[in-house]
Amino acid sequence: MGEQSPVLEMTGIRKVFPGVVALDGVDFRLFPGEIHALMGENGAGKSTLIKVLTGVYTIDGGQVRLGGEVVHINGPLQAQQAGISTVYQEVNLCTNLSVAENIFIGREPRKFGRIQWGQMRRRASELLARLDLNIDVSAPLNTYSLAIQQMVAIARAINVPTAGPAATSATGTASGTGTAAGGGAKVLILDEPTSSLDASEVAQLFAVMRRLKADGVAILFVSHFLDQIYEVSDRLTVLRNGQLIGEYRTAELPQVKLVEKMIGKELAALEDLEDKAQRSRERTAGAEPIVEARGLGRAGAIAPFDLTIHAGEVVGLAGLLGSGRTELARLLFGADRADSGELRFAGKPVTLRDPQVAMKRGIAFSSENRRTEGIIGDLSVRENIILALQASRGWTRPIPRRRQDEIVEKYIKALQIRPADPERPVRNLSGGNQQKVLLARWLITEPRLLIIDEPTRGIDVGAKAEIQKLVAELSDGGMAVLFVSAELEEVLRLSHKIEVLRDRHLVEELQNTEGVDADRIMQTIASGATS
Amino acid sequence: MTTIDATPDTGNKKDSPSNPRRRVYRPNTRYIPILATLALLVIMYGGAVANYENFGQPSVVVNLFRDNAVLLVVTVGMTFVILTGGIDLSVGAVISLTTTLTATLLQGGWPPLVVLVLVLLIGSLIGAGQGAVIHFFKVEPFIATLAGLFLARGLALFINQQSIPIRDETWKAISEYRIPLADGVVTKPVAVVAVAAVLIAAAVLAWTRFGRNVYAIGGSADSALLMGLPVGRTRIAVYTLSGFCAALGGVLFSINSTSGWALQGNGLELDAIAACVIGGVLLTGGSGYVFGALLGVLVTGLIQTIIIFQGDLNAAWTRIIVGVLLFAFIVLQRLVTRKAK
């Protein structure tokens, strides 16, 4: 290939929001046929840069060159036409429509204005087959998992026909095998595509990415999983606080150095944590059990299981996506009703009819879908934090404003929520900070059992460490924590006890002692996969 | 060399996506409400045929279309609006404005064709205006079309508060024209217009980009925008279409009654919404079919016919039964969507 000229070149990009400089003179280059990772903490400006590229934001300064020519991108449609396609973290498709439609809507094959459904389905199948996906393309998208939806989004993204001098045009009806999977998209932006995928799905996604790369597509990849960055990317660009830190070859930058560049300080917090978990391991021996589940289950969601959680204990739930992690957690919070077994809370039998009952007993549940089930975007940080406490008091006894301010102030400081402005709508905060707000909401209710489902998904290393530290501190303070996470390392680091789930069964309980590591858990998860 | 073959081709990697673990089974759930309505219709019809003499005659069914032509046309427009997740409360008022204007202008000696084109244009314009307000100013459809309701009804009352007879020859001729379908079975032109509207709408929704965009917006307007679909244009077009259908309904109304009156079509918007819901068009948008809405209209029409055949029942029963059915269908839709979740 040799040295090529960049397909995309951004110079001196500046973007200002009221009160914040989101991007301050950032340069960014993207070459054809490379996978380029964009790195940085939450609020570093990654999302802003991507939104500039996709035309959601207009820039206040700087220049964007595409294929050598200066372009002004004024909207998503224009970005697509220019050859920049994006797959967002939250799948932005219409799940009520069929798979085929989601790939082709807006550019359906037509004859005399009439959509050619047969042809559309055939081409959708072909396109997905190239991504190793053989599914019924006429089924509505919402019948498929997030992972599949993600793949469909990519299929749509790479199928964009462009006006530019792309090698092959996807607008024609001919669809021989000669057509590259790249269709017309020159730049493909993948914003956190892996955050809701399990290991095998990630591997499949990477295979697709490498194939597109071989076709000459320039891929901008954002992920919070450092391992993934090192596995798949060729180069990376680091941003911090809206400024460019540097552009590096991935292979030449050790992981520790990368983290340092991202957060700008040496991070010892993670190592500390490990010791802490070790030290407190014996603690649970004499503690009172907070939760005792005996044969608790719900048909179709999770098979009957036994589970005991003591005060001051962190219990980790490990398992693949869809193995029943969330379903188990929802039973313990009363979000779903158990249809078998019994549950004792602090020694007394309880029936959790709905979350309100659970909340009254001192159970808090921080949901995995912070966007749809947790955060209320239009309310301020303060209002979001106060919400659960207010609900548990009842609406007839409002919390005095001064008390609200005190509490909120305290937690904004304790959790380092940024920006530290209690009156800012939560919508405007980055993902990691939204997660912290959500945690704060539950923490102020001083629960006896805190259930957190994927609290660190899609947030950066620094915030992740802070949240992990917080969990450890809470359990030190005597709170029982049920910690659900797809990241085994995280589960291992925090938990005293690990419950392994597979295919909606709780298959093993492991005390987190010396011999237990990620491999051991992986074995348990994998051992039943073939039988 | 290409690296396509370099990826390890393991068996389980391939079948994991084709057997997605989180796949939720919802066999044909999108058809359940419409099938339920169809079943209800068949049962009601069968029961009525068994109980009432002459109910089995074909003219009973044919007359359903004749008697409900106005509602049918309005419901077609409403279906588009509801599919985008919106609502149009102005259609009944647009009908009254159309009939009043039609009657007044015809009385004033305007050529019938000019009157027809003019009122259809006015209806479309009212719709387009509402759509523009909804889109550009991000006003809730409920509020925007409520304003349209008052405006149109007010205009109609301003023109004339009395019922105005239509003596125009063309209008009368169309009103009295009968189309023979079979031996002894005849129908009116208004029924043909209504059926044509249903067929055209079904084709547009199934086979045109505009139609699919309507569904996409109802599914998720934000996603539709990010996918590069013309959300604003489509949304305005949908309300324009609803305004047009309302005006067309008004014209049919004036043909049926050969008169215009500012209080005609009062509450018809609610009948149309009810028909959509009973026909399985989800009020949250993105799911439903015109044929469902047609079934919804036929159900309400059939109830009325049955009450007429019964003879000793109060007409209020129509409303009561429609109310009960609405409840039942909304609960059914909830159950279906919840099961899917």
For residue A314, CA distances in Å to A73, A384, B196 come to 49, 26, 66
Statement to judge: residues A412 and A474 lie in one domain: yes
User: For position B154, what pLDDT does the model report?
Assistant: 95
Query: How many structural domains does chain A have?
Result: 2
Which residues of chain B does A118 touch, with a Cβ-Cβ cutoff of 8 Å? none
Look at residue A280 and tell me whether its pLDDT is greater than 80.
no
Q: What is the DSSP string of B59-114?
A: HHHHHHHHHTHHHHHHHHHHHHHHHTT-----HHHHHHHHHHHHHHHHHTT--HHH
Helices assigned H by DSSP within chain B: 11-18, 32-51, 58-67, 69-83, 91-107, 112-136, 141-159, 169-176, 189-207, 209-219, 221-226, 231-257, 268-278, 290-310, 316-340
Statement to judge: residues A208 and A255 lie in one domain: yes
CB contact under 8 A, B22 and A207: no
Report helix, strand and coil shares of chain A as percent, to nearest 5. Answer: 40, 25, 40
Which residues of chain B does A320 touch, with a Cβ-Cβ cutoff of 8 Å? 21
Residues B72 and B95 sit within 8 Å (Cβ to Cβ): no
Mean pLDDT across B226-237: 90
Percent of chain B at pLDDT > 70 equals 90
> Across the interface, which of B18, B23, B226 has its CB nearest the CB of A143?
B23
Statement to judge: residues A246 and A311 lie in one domain: no
Statement to judge: residues A440 and A321 lie in one domain: yes
Separation of alpha carbons A394 and B315, rounded Å: 47
Q: Does A133 touch chain B (CB under 8 A)?
A: yes
Q: Does A20 touch chain B (CB under 8 A)?
A: no
A interface test, pick of B5, B14, B19, B21 with most A CB neighbours within 10 Å: B21
Among residues A229, A247, A263, the one where a domain terminates is A263
Statement to judge: residues A327 and A207 lie in one domain: no
For residue A330, the domain's CATH number is 3.40.50.300
pLDDT band at A458 (very low <50, low <70, confident <90, very high): low
pLDDT band at A272 (very low <50, low <70, confident <90, very high): low
CB contact under 8 A, B17 and A201: yes
pLDDT band at A177 (very low <50, low <70, confident <90, very high): very low
User: For position B13, what pLDDT does the model report?
Assistant: 36
Statement to judge: residues A83 and A204 lie in one domain: yes
How many other C-beta atoms lie within 10 A of the C-beta of residue B91? 34
pLDDT band at B177 (very low <50, low <70, confident <90, very high): very high
CATH fold label, B29-340: ABC transporter involved in vitamin B12 uptake, BtuC (1.10.3470)
User: For position B155, what pLDDT does the model report?
Assistant: 95
* The one-letter amino acid at A80: Q
B interface test, pick of A143, A189, A196 with most B CB neighbours within 10 Å: A143
Q: What is the DSSP string of A418-480?
A: SS--TTSBGGGS-HHHHHHHHHHHHHTT--SEEEEESTTTT--HHHHHHHHHHHHHHHHTT-E
User: For position A279, what pLDDT does the model report?
Assistant: 47
Closest-approach residue (CA) in chain A for B2: A214
pLDDT tens sequence across B187-207: 999 999 999 999 999 999 999
Of A364, A327, A365, A362, residue with least CA distance to A345: A362
Statement to judge: residues A339 and A473 lie in one domain: yes
pTM of the model: 0.70
Separation of alpha carbons A148 and A378, rounded Å: 30
Percent of chain A at pLDDT > 70 equals 86
Evaluate whether residue A152 is within a structural domain.
no
Which residues of chain A does B2 touch, with a Cβ-Cβ cutoff of 8 Å? 214
Look at residue B22 and tell me whether its pLDDT is greater than 60.
no
Nearest-CA distance B24 → chain A (Å)? 5
Instruction: Tell me which range, A167-181, A195-209, A243-257, A308-322, is most confidently predicted by mean pLDDT.
Output: A243-257
Q: Does A146 touch chain B (CB under 8 A)?
A: yes
User: For position B209, what pLDDT does the model report?
Assistant: 94
pLDDT band at B16 (very low <50, low <70, confident <90, very high): very low
Residues B222 and B128 sit within 8 Å (Cβ to Cβ): no
For residue B234, CA distances in Å to A245, B215, B218, B282, B336 come to 44, 10, 11, 19, 28
Among residues A245, A263, A281, the one where a domain terminates is A263
CB contact under 8 A, A142 and B340: yes
Which residues of chain B does A147 touch, with a Cβ-Cβ cutoff of 8 Å? 17, 20, 22
pLDDT tens sequence across B69-98: 999 999 999 999 999 999 999 999 999 999
Q: Encoding tokens for residue A174?
A: 């001919």
pLDDT tens sequence across A19-58: 678 898 999 999 999 999 998 876 788 888 998 998 888 8
Look at residue A170 and tell me whether its pLDDT is greater than 60.
no
Mean pLDDT across A489-511: 85
For residue B167, CA distances in Å to A317, B96, B105, B251 come to 80, 18, 11, 14
Residue B26 φ then ψ, to 5°: -140, 80
Nearest-CA distance A113 → chain B (Å)? 6
User: For position A323, what pLDDT does the model report?
Assistant: 79
Residue predicted with more confidence, A305 or B23: A305
Statement to judge: residues A243 and A311 lie in one domain: no
CB contact under 8 A, A95 and B219: yes
HSE value, Cβ hemisphere, 13 Å, CA-based, for A496:
25
Q: Does A74 touch chain B (CB under 8 A)?
A: no
Which residues of chain A does B337 touch, with a Cβ-Cβ cutoff of 8 Å? none
Look at residue A178 and tell me whether its pLDDT is greater than 50.
no
How many other C-beta atoms lie within 10 A of the C-beta of residue B43? 10
Statement to judge: residues A231 and A301 lie in one domain: no
CB contact under 8 A, A148 and B17: yes
Residue predicted with more confidence, B237 or A274: B237
> Across the interface, which of B7, B14, B229 has its CB nearest the CB of A210?
B7
Average pLDDT, chain A: 81
Q: Which domain holds residue A14?
A: 8-90+165-263
Q: Encoding tokens for residue A110?
A: 């037509």
> Across the interface, which of B12, B208, B212 has its CB nearest the CB of A113?
B208
User: For position A179, what pLDDT does the model report?
Assistant: 33
Each domain of chain B, given as residue ranges in start order, spans 29-340
Q: Does A156 touch chain B (CB under 8 A)?
A: yes
Q: Does A33 touch chain B (CB under 8 A)?
A: no
Q: Does A111 touch chain B (CB under 8 A)?
A: no
Which residues of chain B does A211 touch, with a Cβ-Cβ cutoff of 8 Å? 3-4, 7
B interface test, pick of A78, A87, A97 with most B CB neighbours within 10 Å: A97
A interface test, pick of B9, B24, B31, B207 with most A CB neighbours within 10 Å: B207
Nearest-CA distance B286 → chain A (Å)? 6
Closest-approach residue (CA) in chain A for B20: A145
Among residues A263, A298, A331, the one where a domain terminates is A263
Closest-approach residue (CA) in chain B for A154: B227
